[in-house]
Amino acid sequence: MQTKRYIIKMIIIFYFISPVQSQSQNSLLYNNFYFLPLAGLSLDYSIIESDVGFTAKQVKEVDLQVFWYNSWKVSMYVKENVYTLKRHDVHYYPYRISYYMDFAYISYQFKNSQVGITFNHICNNTIDKPQRNIGTELRWYGIGIKWYSNGMQVGYNPLYSYNSSLFSFNNFHYGLYVGYPFLSKVPEYKYMSSCIIRYDIPCLPYGIPFIEIQIDGLVYSDNALSFNRFIELGCMMPSSSVTFIPYWCYGIAHDSLYPGITDTYFAFGLKAQSLIGNYYDKDLRNNQHKTKNTSLNFMAGYAKTISSEYYNFTTDLSITLQQLICNNNYAYFTSYLNHSSEDQPTALYPRFINISLKSGYAQYIFPFHHLIISYEHFRRHDGNQYRGQPENFHAIELSMVNHSLLSMVFNNPESSEFDNIYNNINYGISIAYIFSQQHYPYSFIVKPIVYYYFACCNAGRPFVGMEFLYFMGKENNYEYNIESGIILNTTIPLTIYYSFKRDIDIDFTGGAHDLYHVIGIRLTL
């Protein structure tokens, strides 16, 4: 009874604030069908003071519109949280990967909001767990109803004039979710719900301060009821196509470190958000780096390995923040995480985890060529178990890369630009010097790469390519990846590929190596 009252109260609240409108999306409503038209991106880093010991959190979000027909949409959403705490004498040691995913959100777009049904998944995965114990982490598979205003979409930037009213219903943005599980364990929830309200205060010429309040309702199998509470104060500061958001957050979260443990924390952080792609203007992707000084780009992939003794499914997600400086020179920062499940019945649990943070500067040297100097911190971890030793390195890398015409634009086979075979080739070479490491026996990594794109059809760009990595140091070894596929000419480019790979040091450095086949998909922009 208490649960029903709680849900009814939230519905009543949203009924009364539903006239509150964010910026109209009239420009996004067309009587056409679109495939992969838009993606909202968010990259978020915060420092945490937490009762249970969390020290920092990194969040990556991708909100991908897959299909759009008239006012009907099907989208996918992934939110990846990486928490750190003090372990092994390291203050920011990765502790947990937490995911929230909408496998499919089927919604109807109104003028200022959208409502629909979502099929979602929530899970926690402990990194470098001392004892292997699969199945003792939060797992949720469920169905729910989501309703939120346009202003709550990832990367969406509400527009206000400097003289906008400080007190207006138009400054409200909201979201509501109520979910029921097909499967829920550790702990076992009967329902989940979330109510979020944000109020914007357009009082500054170069930023929009805001206050955001979120309440999550958790109903357990024994009908016990708990509430997570969060309040966030921040300021949205648009810069070209990216909005930067410095913020402060206070939260009370139940079932935090383990089920039954409540955490109270403060967080100071910075988000970068962007809404990229445009299904009525394919040329936007071709020109974005020429017209936008600041941009967010991403790569997301999912693959199935075949004939591997160690891997089953592999997931990749990276987001890059890029700042154009002058004359096609740019600086960038990339956050990347890759994990593979093992070839066991627990195939969907992350087993082998790679984390990379990379920043660099690219100097334009001649047409389509850049000379890049970068720094990378790379870490190898285990999911839900521990190999017994930390493996990571810090490296300085020097690269020369060519970006072919076909890798950057939608090809037109009738264009004379593609008569020159040279324009269809991507190539590059990099040399990385490892100046600091833990249990990583290499000092240099050399990586040549070459890809060839075929300008043969309007639907996409077939390609074939190869990457080779040679490791030198106390031990010498090598990896390679031979890949072929097609990049579809969607606004958010979709790659369907097959590859043949050789990997080394799979379970630990100096450990197993494997030859295997991969079939996968990849989104890159």
C-alpha to C-alpha distance for 433 and 508, rounded to whole angstroms: 21
pLDDT at 289: 37
437 in any annotated domain: yes
113 in any annotated domain: yes
Together in a domain, 262 and 368: no
DSSP lists the bridge partners of residue 515 as: 502
- Write the DSSP assignment of 39-91 as a string of letters: EEEEEEEEEEEETT-EEEEEEEEEEEEEEEETTEEEEEEEEEEEEEEEETTEE
282 in any annotated domain: no
Phi, psi of 409 (to 5 degrees): -130, 165
Together in a domain, 240 and 292: no
User: Which CATH number does the domain housing residue 415 bear?
Assistant: 2.40.160.40
Domain boundary among 276, 311, 343: 276
Full residue range of the structural domain in which residue 482 is found: 288-524
Together in a domain, 240 and 353: no
Domain boundary among 221, 247, 276: 276
Together in a domain, 205 and 340: no
Is residue 10 a contact partner of residue 192, using CB atoms and an 8 Å limit?
no
The structure's pTM equals: 0.88
Together in a domain, 218 and 266: yes
Token code pair at residue 42: 């968010």
Together in a domain, 239 and 319: no
Let me know the angle formed at the C-alpha of 88 by 83 and 94, rounded to the nearest 5 degrees.
15
Region of residue 407 (phi > 0: left; psi between -120 and 50: alpha; otherwise: beta): alpha
pLDDT at 334: 95
Together in a domain, 211 and 65: yes
Number of domains in the chain: 2
Together in a domain, 329 and 466: yes
24 in any annotated domain: no
Together in a domain, 155 and 268: yes
Sequential pLDDT tens for the chain (525 residues): 444 454 444 444 444 444 333 333 444 444 588 899 999 999 999 999 999 999 999 999 999 999 999 899 999 999 999 999 998 889 999 999 999 999 999 999 998 899 999 999 999 999 998 776 666 789 999 999 999 999 999 988 777 666 667 777 888 999 999 999 999 998 999 999 999 999 999 888 888 999 999 999 999 999 999 999 999 999 999 888 899 999 999 999 999 888 889 999 999 999 999 998 764 334 333 333 334 688 999 999 999 999 898 999 999 999 999 998 887 889 999 999 999 998 776 567 888 999 999 999 999 998 888 999 999 999 999 988 888 888 999 999 999 998 754 444 444 444 444 444 556 888 999 999 999 999 999 999 999 999 998 876 778 889 999 999 999 998 899 999 999 999 998 889 999 999 999 999 998 888 889 999 999 999 998
Together in a domain, 461 and 501: yes
247 in any annotated domain: yes
Together in a domain, 82 and 139: yes
Together in a domain, 376 and 328: yes
User: In this structure, what is the dihedral angle of CA atoms 244, 249, 255, 261, given to the nearest 10 degrees?
Assistant: 140
Domain boundary among 249, 276, 303: 276
